[in-house]
Amino acid sequence: MASPKKIRLHFNEVAMRDGLQNERRFVPTEDKIALIDRLSTLGYARIEATAFVSPAAIPALQDAEAVMRGIRRRPGVIYTVLVPNLRGAHRAMQSQADEFNLFMSASETHNLANVRMTREQSLAQITEVARLASEGSIPVNVSLSTSFGCPMEGDIGEAEVLAWVKRFADLGVQGVSLCDTTGMAYPDQVRSLCGKAIQAHPSLNFTAHFHDTRAMGLVNALAAAESGIRTFDASLGGLGGCPYAPGASGNVAMEDLVHMFACTGYDSGMDLAGLIEAARQLEPLVGHGLSSQLPRAGLRLTKHAPPAGLEEIRARAQAKASQAPRL
């Protein structure tokens, strides 16, 4: 593998929230807890443990309180939770979440479709929740969906995306995630937007969140790292689909992403073999195959057994070679 670039990257696991909320099968609470506890040992910066949303709206995450109560908090890991509104924020505080992940879309149409509010209404809500979090000394991250394009509106102007980032920064939040919600990002765009965002707000922690819907998830992640992004969302096993393209890939797979960065000489700080094992454990929980490659293929230098009879083949070939050459 390449000589380390000595640049440390940080990874946020989103399978337990972003992944599971799209699953038909309810994963039992004790299985969620066991998996989060396992993931906690693998080197993550953050694990998005659940969402404090309406149980009626997202039954898959109806056990948010029980999950937060059941997990073993490992020092150094930030257990973040998705918070849609003040009500969710109060629940999240009672569950002692380490961080709130708030969200809205850069696209007006996507925001309306997703949360039935205008973007200004979402910002007002984010402002309320951020104020509450600040009173409780809880760090806030805002995930800005459709930062690289909207499946209904098309491209969102870079200046518009950056203006939203500035409004979050003005609220005093700690982090902003630039989210490619439906896999529309491409490398030049990623370099430009991420570079400008970091330059404008050097003290904000920016996270890049890519989807593999158009097969460019890893390409974009590498471009983002080259532009100075140091924190990445991804999903174990690539869990989570794309609601706008049935059957298409959703989240970038964590193990494939970490493997790429390890090959490329970044310091991921992650237990890659442990990740692959955890992904294999995830598959029976959700009851279907996963889109990630590493659990099937292994690390790039994982040796595969030669075919049966190779030594005989070699001996026969060498015997022929020792006869008069044909040329």
Stretch that binds a second copy, among 51-59, 64-72, 137-145, 294-302 (CB under 8 A): 294-302
| Cβ 289 to a second copy shortest distance, Å | 8
| Cβ 161 to a second copy shortest distance, Å | 16
41, 96, 118, 199: which one binds a second copy (CB under 8 A): 118
323 interacts with a second copy by CB under 8 A: no
4, 59, 124, 172: which one binds a second copy (CB under 8 A): 124
Give the helix/strand (H/E) hosting 259.
helix 254-263
Nearest residue (CB) to a second copy, 66 versus 245: 245
Tell which positions 252-271 bind a second copy, by CB under 8 A.
253, 256, 259-260, 263-265
29, 127, 205, 281: which one binds a second copy (CB under 8 A): 127
Contact call for residues 14 and 251 (beta carbons, < 8 A): yes
Tell me the site size for a second copy, rule CB under 8 A: 72
Tell me the sheet residues that pair with 141: 101, 175
Nearest residue (CB) to a second copy, 30 versus 120: 120
Angle between helices 119-135 and 86-94 (to 10 degrees): 30
319 interacts with a second copy by CB under 8 A: no
Contact call for residues 301 and 262 (beta carbons, < 8 A): no
Give me the residue label for tokens 């706008």: 244
Tell which positions 195-234 bind a second copy, by CB under 8 A.
212-216, 218-219, 222
Structure token digits, residue 275:
């990740």
Tell which positions 29-68 bind a second copy, by CB under 8 A.
none
Structure token digits, residue 19:
């992944």
Nearest residue (CB) to a second copy, 70 versus 298: 298
**Residues in CB range of 120: below 8 A, 6 or more apart:** none
| Cβ 29 to a second copy shortest distance, Å | 30
Q: What is the CA radius of gyration of the chain?
A: 22
DSSP codes joined into one string, 224-256? HHHTT--EEEEBGGG--B-TTSTTSB-BPBHHH
Residue 107's nearest CA partner among 145, 159, 143, 163 is 145
| Distance between CA atoms of residues 158 and 196, nearest Å | 9
71 interacts with a second copy by CB under 8 A: no
Contact call for residues 43 and 27 (beta carbons, < 8 A): no
Stretch that binds a second copy, among 19-27, 57-65, 157-165, 315-323 (CB under 8 A): 315-323
4, 154, 172, 287: which one binds a second copy (CB under 8 A): 154
Residue of 150, 179, 194, 242 with catalytic role: 242
Is 194 catalytic? The answer is no
Known catalytic residues are 242
